[in-house]
Amino acid sequence: MRDQILYSASAGFLIGIFIRSFIWLSPFVLYLSLAISAAFFILYFLRLDKRSSILLLFAIFISGLLLGTARLDLAVRKENSLELSQYVGENFSGTGIVVDEPDERARNTKLTLEIGSSRSDLGDSRGPTSSRREKILVTADAYSDFKYGDEVNISGKLVKPENFTTDQGKVFDYVNYLGKDDIYFLMPFARISLVSARHGSWIKSKLFTLREKVLANFARAIPEPESTLLGGLVLGTKQAFSPEMRNDFIKTGTIHIIALSGMNVTILALALLSFFSMFTKKKFAAPLGIVSIILFVVMTGGQSSALRAGIMGVISMFALLSERKYNIRRALLLALLFMVAINPKILAFDISFQLSFLATVGIVYFSPIFERWLVKIKNSYFRKLISATISAQLLTLPLIIYKMGILSIVGLPVNVLILPLVEPAMIAGIIIAVVGLIYFPLSALLAYPLYLTLHFLLKTIIWSASLPFSAKVIPSFSIFLTILFYFLIFIFYLKYKQKELLQTVHTHKVQ
């Protein structure tokens, strides 16, 4: 019953946030839902219905639904009173602080600035006087040397983001993509000058500096574009790839290898646990592992996939510390609830977050099914690898087609071919990163065999993407078809588990 209550409340909370992300619910609907929930609670406690447990779960579900709606309302309330809106379309000057790591790309650098809304910051007699700070995404030159925590002066035309159509004919919801991070304004061609430095978190500054040093060592030890690929494998940095290279990753269904995932955090957690266990007991090694995982996630910029994997890694460490069994399904749900409670906008508008969770759900729930079906593959490693690949692609494919309008034809064989090399390359990259911080010449020597592996990975992806049948553009894949596909996948899973349960019961009866 405890699990049923947890799942009912969680489902209501998530569905409430998702519905409210697209539909405004009137007070009448909310009050009616509250009244229904209260009635079901009363019926349950009075025991006036034989199905009282079902009433309780339904009441909890509706309560979760209302809570989710309220959480999203709280998150979007600030959008209705943005003080910088009065300057949209005009030349704007102000002073702000770089509040995130600069997003360095092949052609420019994106800076996320928090602009103070005081008169002195805006330099305009019309300026509002409240102390709230609002964000602007500023485009700077490709080789601008600005860092997290820098205070800068900016001037340029202030505009609002607009949705645009991709090369595949899909409309990209750029407004909500930025809105999930509370960014509602752009300055595409800004004049920027440094005022002062070190205004951010000391810990984040040191971690970002460490990350930059690791990436610089990669670039010194391994030529481009292999060094960029290594940065993606180890630290999730994919911005430096050219648009053409990123498109090759998308066409071959391999973009996930340069996004931080559970594999990165799992390798890190096991390595740290083994390292700390050499010097202390496990009950002391686990807390050190937890702190290290948190620092690693912060260092990588707190990407959705890394944060999800980090939360699950921390939960596994707590399970080890308390000598309890680690339940990966419950850990996945807790990670989902935690992230959505902190920022509810990511549930509907962060595709990285969505794909990360869908891929993990696929691996956790469907991989065992495909392993049973692929029993003729005698090598257990390749059987698990192929099963995990099929499971992850099964759950992410409908969303990828809907959001990106592209179906990778070569995705499955390419992933099966390169994934056995990705994990060793990742481990080697972590070793080279650590050695490079201690003694760079040794890391450069160790990097040569890794370069050959990275070169093979890139050549395989580029060649596969160049095939005329590598991918199919599907611009008209609707939200209705997407929902239908996921409904069919859900029905398939339920039918399979039902059949499995009947077979288990039959076996017990025979015995």
Q: Tell me how far apart the alpha carbons of residues 254 and 399 are, in angstroms, rounded to a whole number.
A: 15
Helices (H) and strands (E) in the chain, counts: 19, 11
Closest of 433, 453, 452, 448 to residue 271, by C-alpha: 433
In angstroms, the CA 112 to CA 139 distance is: 9
DSSP 434-461: HHHHH-HHHHHHHHHHHHHHHHHHHHHH
> Burial letters for 308-321: b for 16+ Cβ neighbours within 10 Å, e otherwise?
bbbbbbbbbbeebb
d(CA 423, CA 420): 7
Instruction: Determine if residue 408 is left, alpha or beta; phi over 0 gives left, psi from -120 to 50 gives alpha, anything else beta.
Output: beta
Return all residues near 223 (Cβ < 8 A) that are at least 6 apart.
451
| CB proximity list for 375: less than 8 A, separation 6 or greater | 383
pLDDT, residue 508, reads 63
* Terminal Cα distance for the chain, rounded: 30
Which pair of tokens denotes residue 393? 């692609």
- Please tell me the predicted confidence (pLDDT) of residue 120: 37
Alpha helices (runs of H) in 77-156, residue ranges in sequence order: 119-122
As given in the structure block, the two tokens for residue 12 are: 């209501």
Per-residue b or e along 359-374, where b marks 16 or more CB atoms closer than 10 Å to that residue's CB: bbbbbbbbbebbbeee
pLDDT recorded at residue 117: 46
* Cα angle 114, 82, 166; round to 5: 80
Pure H helices in 77-224: 119-122, 174-179, 202-221
Cα–Cα distances (Å) from 198 to 145, 203, 367, 425, 510, in that order, read 14, 11, 47, 35, 72
Q: Residue 259 is encoded by which pair of tokens?
A: 């996004």
Strands 164-165 and 151-157: unpaired
Q: Do the strands 151-157 and 471-473 form a parallel or antiparallel pair, or are they unpaired?
A: unpaired
Q: Packing angle between helix 411-438 and helix 380-404, nearest 10 degrees?
A: 100
Q: What's the Cα-to-Cα distance from 499 to each of 484, 493, 495, rounded to whole Å?
A: 22, 10, 6
CA distance 81 to 101: 27
Q: In this structure, are residues 105 and 162 in contact, taking their beta carbons and an 8 Å threshold?
A: no
What pLDDT is attached to residue 119? 39
Q: Are strands 91-98 and 109-116 parallel, antiparallel or unpaired?
A: antiparallel
So what's the pLDDT on residue 183? 93
pLDDT at position 292, please?
84
DSSP string computed for 160-186: ----EE-TTSPEE-HHHHHHTTTEEEE
Would you say the C-alpha torsion 264, 267, 273, 277 has a positive or negative sign?
negative
| Among 61, 65, 67, 76, CA closest to 16 | 65
Q: What is the pTM of this model?
A: 0.86
Buried-exposed string 436-468: b where 16+ CB fall within 10 A, e elsewhere:
beeeeeebbeebeebeebbeebbebbeebbeee
Going from the C-alpha of 449 to that of each of 57, 67, 424, the distances in angstroms are 57, 53, 11
For 379, the token pair is: 């090598």
Instruction: For the chain, 511 residues long, give each residue's pLDDT as a single digit of tens.
Output: 677 888 888 998 999 999 988 888 777 677 677 787 777 777 667 665 556 678 788 888 888 888 898 899 888 877 767 888 888 888 999 899 999 988 887 788 899 999 864 333 444 544 444 455 789 999 988 778 899 999 999 999 999 999 988 877 888 899 999 999 999 999 998 899 999 998 988 999 999 999 999 999 999 999 988 999 999 888 877 666 777 888 898 889 888 887 766 666 777 777 777 777 777 776 777 788 788 888 888 888 877 878 888 888 888 888 877 777 888 888 899 999 999 999 999 999 998 889 889 988 999 999 999 999 998 888 888 888 889 889 988 999 999 999 888 899 998 899 888 988 888 898 899 889 989 999 999 999 999 999 999 999 999 999 999 999 899 988 888 889 999 999 999 999 999 988 888 877 666 666 5
CB count within 10 Å of CB 381 equals 9
